[in-house]
Amino acid sequence: MTTASRDSVVWKLAGLLRESGDVVLSGCSTLSLLTTTLQQLNRIFELYLGPWGPGQTGFVALPSHPADSPIILQLQFLFDVLQKTLSLKLVHIPGPGLPGPIKIFPFKSLRQLELRGVPLHCLHGLRGIYSQLETLICSKSIQALEELLSACGGDLCSALPWLALLSADFSYNALTALDSSLRLLSALRFLNLSHNQVQDCKGFLMDLSELYHLDISYNRLHLVPRMGPSGAALGILILRGNELRSLQGLEQLRNLRHLDVAYNLLEGHKELSPLWLLAELRKLYLEGNPLWFHPAHRVATVQYLSPRVRDAAHSFLLDGEVLSLKDFQTPASSGLGPMVLPLPWPVGSTTETSGGPELSDSLSSGGIMAQPLLRKVKNRVRVRRASISEPSDTDPEPRTLDPSPAAELCRPMLVCPLQGPEGVQGRECFLRITSTHLFEVELQAARTLERLELQSLVVAELEPEMRTQREPVPEGSGLLPGAPILVLRFSYICPDRKLRRYVVLESDAHAAVQELLAVLTPFTTVAQQQLREARDPLGTRFQCLRCGCVFKPEETGLGPDGEEGWRPLFQKTESPAVCPSCGSDHVVLMTLSEETSNREQNHGQQSPVSSQSSSPVCDTPGHSDHPSSADIVPPQAPISHGHSSWSLSPSPERCGLRSVDHRLRLFLDVEVFSDAQEEFQCCLKVPVVLAGHSGEFLCLVVVSDHRLYLLKVTGEICGPPASWLQPTLAIPLQDLSGMELGLAGQSLRLEWVTGVGSCVLLPRDARCCRAFLEELIGVLQSLPPTQRNSVIATEEEVTPQHRLWPLLGQVASSEAPQFFYLRAFLVEGPSTCPISLLLTLTTLYLLDEDPAGSQEEPRLPGASGEASEKAPPLVLGPSVQVREQQPLSSLSSVLLYRLAPEDLQLVFYDEVSRLESFWALRVVCKEQLTALLAWIREPWEELFSIGLRTVTQEALDLDR
């Protein structure tokens, strides 16, 4: 051994293990090695400590060597540690050429093995330890499970059962199917097959009798995996992100407690019928399915749950939220119509029962849904009504009830469905149209083959004759050449339900198809109108604040006098936005919200701080009625003033912080989160001040179950998240060392690694700030014990050492100071700047504060008017400066604005100089404005009673 590289590897690894070898040998930490490093170590071991035979197993006792060779002693130490290592992670970085053998022969005591990108045909030595492994993680390495489980990688042996293996993670591989090698994992409790390409599990999971946790999310499954009798132990099943259209098969998993089938293709709540038999279910996730968008989704879902589940509603989570009394409202009160029980079905059968009507959850269909079992009442005589739809002995297939006994719009038409681009002919059927549905009905047994909602119909048209003439007409099919083909297009998610093509087989086919088109055209007209409104949800309507006229952008023009030079409402608008009735440019963009429209129709006093120029405060449509502080953006990070479909201003409750747009969730999972198992917890859009950086910048603060991320908003919030979000900081949750709720609960300071770094979140809303803090504490408490730290949340206290103490006038008093503190914005023309408003019993202060605690030299407080010049200079901390101050006795009035409920003006009058001045302020929520006026009211009333100042109480009226 003469090369410096070999010496470097040996010495560095040996030094590392001498310092931290105890945590490696105890199993608390995992030894991570590159495959190239392991190959180099193996060559050194074989050269100086070996050789060993290929069949060498068990612990190896090294021969004695001269003690005067430090390298040999280091090698002996390394080899001994590797033989006793309990947890190993191997990472392979592809390079030019074929990789050589990767031998794990030195590791005799492994209990956990993790392989990342390791080519299995090069892995040797697994057969000596596979029977003792308890945890196996393999990602980006295998295309078939048998490569690892049966052949033991490059050993190419016939493996026996993995007797000790309890947890197996095969996520992020190229698996397209499972195989019989899974039967070797007889003791397995945890199995992760997520993020593969598996389409059908077949019966390969049926032998895992001890399996409790199965994650097979983000695959391409069309059916629920079959577990057989072994499914009795399964408690957690994660099937999110697949292509499931039915949940049949779940009825066998009687002990299932956690079911995640989010982001599948479940269209109707009738597909939830198997949940009726899952009495132990406590968590159910259905978000992202088509049925999730049903207006009464939660009420409809509850009707399909087991009665035992409803009895334990206080502990049942549906889509992450506990069931409430509103979710248990009766079907009549929820507008769902009458309901009956879901019909039972034989185990493993997918044939619909014919003894009752079809199940539906459509509001317009008058369909039938599931209802909980009625309790038996004694001494009640029940008269059963005979059903004429029961199958007879001669019926080849069970029949369903007549789908449309009332409401048909035209006579049934005989058609032949065409499937696929090749025009493969299906079975002839009747096409029946009611006021809500289109049915394909079997000719003989009148069984419903397909039901399509007319509210989803987008296009109904005839196929061009040139293409119709090219359709092949097989001999003996009975199809007439040149028969018209009806083309229907739907807005469904499922690909096979988007397009329907029918050859009309009526004797008067052309007249019949025109009759069909006449019936279907009104539905397509409504659907196309809805699509246009969906593309432009704001309706592109303006309303004049002067005369109340509502108009479209194309109706805008010059005023009645034909004058030129009207200023546009938005800088990016090509044509001026002026009222065509009175010529005013004081117009607002209307929303679909009735509440907002009614508010805009009230022509109250207009705020001088919200005139023609667009405000820097911008909230996405359909969220809150007030501008959020998180939408106040510095010049380097503008937000779109046009329509944006991003929902980044949630309600201040904790449930709102957990909701996230699916596009943003995908961006976080792929581009931001660094661990495969990392899961999103909550997020908040908020201005942030980072230690070492000047000023605040808008951020998306994201909390996962591993880290806290700061994603800086770098541009207009529209388009792909990667174009306007820049990952700035990632903080492991176990590194958080301090959480302090700021003064009045309007900010949150986070510290990590005890003084190494800190940041301040500035929601400027106590409810939002406390909700995020509670959510963060909940995530920290849910960490594993090995990663949990002892950080606790504290609140900022005002003591004699506090930065604001010199302004409170409490020099020698032991009583708690009385003051009002508010983080707000000072409006100066078209721009705003963050300030702090401090009110004492005698003075009002406008403060410039550095939330991160900068080390700049303090300045003396600024002066405003004669009263300020008489005030003695105050010595404040380096992080706060007085911008302006006014005596409370100079406050003459408070102006509020109907059209800008978060804006106000504090008007001051100086009796000495006879001058009037004002502070134009903007708060982030109306609750802050109410609290501010309530605090001012009490000292004002006292001043009024002693005659120091005559004030108008009407100015303090909160209803103004």
Q: For residue range 194-208, list pLDDT tens digits in order.
A: 999 999 998 899 889
Average the pLDDT over 755-778 and give the result.
88
Confidence at 378, pLDDT banded by 50, 70, 90: very low
Length of the chain: 960
Phi-psi map region of 424: left, alpha, beta (phi>0 left; psi -120 to 50 alpha): beta
Partner residues linked to 417 by β-bridges: 502
H or E element that contains 515 = helix 509-535
Average the pLDDT over 761-768 and give the result.
90
Answer with the residue of higher pLDDT: 838 or 376.
838
Calpha distance 107→27 (Å, rounded): 13
Average the pLDDT over 173-189 and give the result.
92
Confidence at 167, pLDDT banded by 50, 70, 90: very high
Q: For position 800, what pLDDT does the model report?
A: 82
Kindly report, residue by residue over 102-145, the tens digit of the pLDDT.
998 888 889 999 999 999 989 998 988 888 999 999 999 999 99
Peptide bond into 51 cis (omega under 30): yes
Contact 807, 838 (CB under 8 A): yes
State the CB neighbour count (10 A cutoff) for residue 939.
Answer: 17
* pLDDT exceeds cutoff 80 at 343: no
State the CB neighbour count (10 A cutoff) for residue 98.
Answer: 8
Contact 920, 877 (CB under 8 A): no
Give percent above pLDDT 90 in the chain. 21
Q: For position 790, what pLDDT does the model report?
A: 80
Average the pLDDT over 822-839 and give the result.
88
Which of the 8 DSSP states describes residue 790? -
Q: For position 242, what pLDDT does the model report?
A: 94
Strand duo 429-433 + 891-896: pairing? unpaired
Confidence at 42, pLDDT banded by 50, 70, 90: confident
Q: For position 361, what pLDDT does the model report?
A: 37
Calpha distance 147→152 (Å, rounded): 7
Amino acid letter, 820: F
Q: For position 114, what pLDDT does the model report?
A: 94
Lowest mean pLDDT among 260-264, 421-425, 448-452, 604-608: 604-608
Q: For position 275, what pLDDT does the model report?
A: 92
Q: For position 324, what pLDDT does the model report?
A: 84
User: Coil, strand, or helix at residue 179?
Assistant: coil
* pLDDT exceeds cutoff 50 at 381: no
Give percent above pLDDT 70 in the chain. 69
Contact 267, 303 (CB under 8 A): no
Residue 667 backbone dihedrals phi, psi, to 5 degrees: -65, -40
Confidence at 61, pLDDT banded by 50, 70, 90: low
State the CB neighbour count (10 A cutoff) for residue 662.
Answer: 11
Q: Is the dihedral of CA 866, 870, 871, 872 positive or negative?
A: positive
Closest CA to 216 of 231, 201, 234, 232: 201
Closest CA to 142 of 172, 167, 164: 172
Confidence at 761, pLDDT banded by 50, 70, 90: very high
Between the alpha carbon of residue 526 and those of residues 453, 515, 537, 862, the distances in Å are: 13, 19, 15, 64
Calpha distance 453→461 (Å, rounded): 17
Calpha distance 358→5 (Å, rounded): 74
Q: For position 629, what pLDDT does the model report?
A: 38
Average the pLDDT over 863-884 and give the result.
58
> Max CA-CA distance within the chain?
108
Confidence at 217, pLDDT banded by 50, 70, 90: very high
* pLDDT exceeds cutoff 70 at 869: no
HEC string of 570-629?
CCCCCCCCCCCCCCCCCEEECCCCHHHHHHHHCCCCCCCCCCCCCCCECCCCCCCCCCCH
Average the pLDDT over 321-347 and give the result.
58
Q: For position 62, what pLDDT does the model report?
A: 58
Q: For position 646, what pLDDT does the model report?
A: 65
Peptide bond into 63 cis (omega under 30): no
Confidence at 192, pLDDT banded by 50, 70, 90: very high
Which of the 8 DSSP states describes residue 273? G
Q: For position 331, what pLDDT does the model report?
A: 54
Confidence at 541, pLDDT banded by 50, 70, 90: confident
Confidence at 234, pLDDT banded by 50, 70, 90: very high
Partner residues linked to 740 by β-bridges: 749, 794
* Cα end-to-end distance, the chain, whole Å: 89
Answer with the residue of higher pLDDT: 16 or 272.
272
Lowest mean pLDDT among 420-434, 568-582, 859-873: 859-873
Calpha distance 432→245 (Å, rounded): 24
Q: For position 312, what pLDDT does the model report?
A: 80
Partner residues linked to 827 by β-bridges: 832
Q: For position 651, what pLDDT does the model report?
A: 56
Chain CA centroid to CA 816, Å: 44
Q: For position 421, what pLDDT does the model report?
A: 66
Kindly report, residue by residue over 453-497, the tens digit of the pLDDT.
888 899 999 988 654 455 555 444 455 667 889 999 998 888 888
Query: Crossing angle of helices 70-84/35-48, nearest 10°?
Result: 120
Q: For position 172, what pLDDT does the model report?
A: 94
Provide the mean pLDDT of the chain: 74
* pLDDT exceeds cutoff 70 at 943: no
Average the pLDDT over 764-793 and give the result.
87
Lowest mean pLDDT among 15-19, 86-90, 709-713, 728-732: 15-19
Calpha distance 838→798 (Å, rounded): 13
Q: For position 265, what pLDDT does the model report?
A: 92
Answer with the residue of higher pLDDT: 845 or 99.
845
Answer with the residue of higher pLDDT: 129 or 96.
129
Contact 618, 640 (CB under 8 A): yes
Lowest mean pLDDT among 247-251, 481-485, 826-830: 481-485
Contact 257, 281 (CB under 8 A): yes
* pLDDT exceeds cutoff 70 at 527: yes
